[in-house]
Structure 1
Amino acid sequence: MTRRIALGLLSASGFCLLAILNVGGYRYGVQDQSFYVPAVLQQLDPGL
């Protein structure tokens, strides 16, 4: 029984660690657009 509890705690800790690391991780499209959209608009209209 204690081995099962230890395995559950270890699994939960690993899951929490991955979830925390994923929060600040790369989000497809969001970070790309924040850079590329202004760059493209500036190329289309240099007065921006």
Structure 2
Amino acid sequence: MTISKDLLDDLLKGCERPEDLLDDAGLMKELKIRLMERMLGAFEEK
């Protein structure tokens, strides 16, 4: 799987400081939560 440059650009909009990515309310934490929820949902559907 490849993540497109456009998708990355969209995700990084509004991120101006490292904290915007790495804080407890940052993008990385939200991505991790959303990916885990999505994966668990996919397993439940099977």
Higher relative contact order (CA 8 A, sep 6+): 2
Scaled by the length of structure 1, the TM-score of the pair is 0.48
Superposition TM-score, scaled by structure 2 size: 0.50
